[in-house]
């Protein structure tokens, strides 16, 4: 009798996602695809890459051929929640400002960032000066939602919609901040050893993440004689990892 294939479930997931992608591409070609189809295809393609990596690991070390699983798989977002330091290799965005603002529009980026976060929470805090390169210093807290549509990889969407009243200059007041970021998460096995943001305390990184899609943005509504808003569009977080104490 042939032994059961321990990798069969992964193969089935790959086949199903490949069929979903083919169907969505056909919808695009026919002109009947709903809004958001391209983003869904992008997410499915990322998940497909992850499944192929899982299949390769399974084929190299399939483990016991029989027997039930020892327990539920770890949600990589739990690793992020349990962490207290977040590192990002690069954050980049496209800046659009009102005419006459004095700022230089165009692509912006910051590299090798480390953000301290509260352990046990999913919220993310970005600082306008250290993380985004602005001239003023303000923490923007983005609240987390955990969407997980069937067939998609683990995601987190961070949102902010905050009324503020912060003077940035003699005739400039920041009134409101809105925006959202969506990222995908993948568990790091084995965990990668490193340090907290103080570069001294040891930490173990158990999850990696990166933004997905093209609708990651922040809007800063500013009350000035110019009557314009600052827009950070196409925000991209790459090389993100989150680590907890060891």
| Pair of tokens at residue 227 | 């009557």
pTM of the predicted model, to two decimals?
0.69
Any idea which of 44-58, 99-113, 135-149, 215-229 has the lowest mean pLDDT?
44-58
Residue 223 pairs with which residues in a beta bridge?
173
Other Cβ atoms less than 10 A from the Cβ of 28: the count is: 12
Q: Any idea where the domains of the chain sit in the sequence?
A: 8-60, 76-245
The predicted-structure confidence for 90-107, as pLDDT tens digits, reads as follows 999 999 987 777 778 899
In whole angstroms, give the CA distance from residue 84 to residue 12. 36
Phi and psi dihedrals of 17, rounded to 5?
Answer: -70, -40
Which residue in 158, 172, 167 sits closest to 213, CA to CA?
A: 158
Look at the block and give the residue holding tokens 């059961």: 4
| Region of residue 239 (left: phi > 0; alpha: psi -120 to 50; beta: else) | left
Which residue in 134, 153, 145 sits closest to 54, CA to CA?
A: 153
The predicted-structure confidence for 161-215, as pLDDT tens digits, reads as follows 999 888 877 777 889 999 999 999 988 888 888 888 888 999 999 999 999 888 8
Residue 127 pairs with which residues in a beta bridge?
139
In whole angstroms, give the CA distance from residue 210 to residue 29. 29
């Amino acid at each position: 009798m042939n032994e059961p294939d321990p990798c069969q479930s992964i193969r089935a997931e790959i086949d199903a996602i490949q069929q979903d992608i083919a169907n969505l591409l056909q919808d695009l070609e026919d002109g009947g695809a709903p809004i958001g189809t391209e983003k869904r295809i992008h997410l499915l393609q990322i998940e497909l890459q992850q499944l192929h990596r899982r299949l390769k690991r399974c084929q190299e070390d399939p483990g016991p051929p029989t027997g039930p699983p020892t327990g539920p798989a770890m949600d990589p977002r739990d690793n992020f929640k349990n962490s207290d330091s977040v590192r990002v290799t690069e954050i980049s965005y496209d800046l659009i400002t009102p005419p006459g603002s004095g700022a230089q529009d165009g692509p912006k980026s910051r590299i090798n960032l480390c953000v301290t976060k509260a352990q046990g929470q999913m919220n993310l805090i970005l600082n306008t000066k250290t993380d985004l390169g602005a001239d003023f210093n303000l923490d923007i807290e983005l609240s987390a939602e955990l969407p997980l549509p069937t067939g998609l990889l683990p995601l987190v969407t961070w949102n902010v919609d905050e009324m503020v009243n912060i003077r940035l200059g003699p005739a400039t007041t920041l009134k409101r901040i809105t925006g959202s970021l969506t990222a995908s998460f993948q568990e790091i096995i084995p965990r990668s050893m490193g340090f907290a943001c103080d570069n001294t305390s040891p930490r173990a990184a158990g999850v990696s993440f990166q933004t997905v899609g093209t609708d990651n943005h922040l809007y800063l509504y500013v009350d000035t004689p110019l009557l314009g808003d600052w827009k950070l569009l196409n925000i991209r977080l790459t090389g993100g990892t989150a680590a907890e104490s060891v």
